[in-house]
Amino acid sequence: CAGKGLPEDLVSQFSTFNTQELIPYAPHYLAGWRAEAYAVELMPAWGMGQQKMAQVQQGRCSGDVGGDTHRSLMVQNNFTRVTFKHVLLPIWIAAYRYNQKTYRFLVNGQTGEVVGKAPYSFWKIFFLVAGILTAIGVGVGIYWYTQEMDDTPPPPVTPRPVVSVTAPPVPTPVPTMTAAPTATSTVKKPGALPTARPTAKPSGAPTGSAKPVPAPTAKPSK
């Protein structure tokens, strides 16, 4: 930036502008707007540009070197076909006061990027740091507690006496067979009397014989 009205520490935080979208200058682009003309001459501005490009190239070469660390890296830049153009870059400047202090910030008119300094609260930062440290402490405590629990041997297991219990024999049911009752039937003939079976008489009783009595016969009536 060739202007002296902008803080260099804020301007350096901007990402590069897309110079591929540059258009030819016309006076009506600045009609109604305040613009700052360049305050740095050509050669001093060219020296500032070389320093910035050297820093960029140093970072690129450092990333290409293998290994985690390195020392004594020398980078030599050669510039060819150098040309100069007067370019107007859109940057919005704003400021505000907070707690009797002025804070400035810049807005990239091409990308909308905002850079600047913001006020901070000591107590908010203090409680934030305290909360982070407390969370870390709790996490470390839980980690060590779980490690100690894993390293502690389990308590010995006391063997219990084995008691054998003999189950009583289960009685086996035996099938039983019952005789089916036998039915006897007698057929009586018509006109016949039942025959008396002899029975044993006690000793000393009179003996006799039973005579059959003829059954009466029915006569047909006239």
Q: What tens digit of pLDDT does each residue of 127-146 get?
A: 888 889 899 988 888 888 78
Residue 27 in this model has a pLDDT that exceeds 70: yes
Q: Is the pLDDT of residue 161 over 70?
A: no
| This prediction's pTM | 0.44
Inform me whether the pLDDT recorded for 55 exceeds 80: yes
**% of residues, the chain, pLDDT over 90:** 0
Model confidence at 113: pLDDT above 60: yes
Residue whose pair of structure tokens reads 């009536």 in the numeric block:
221
Q: How confident is the model at residue 213 (pLDDT cuts 50, 70, 90)?
A: low
pLDDT at 94 > cutoff 70: yes
CA-to-CA distance for 181 and 159, rounded, in angstroms? 66
Using CA atoms, how far apart are residues 132 and 121, in angstroms rounded to an integer?
A: 17
pLDDT band of residue 222 (cuts 50, 70, 90) is: very low
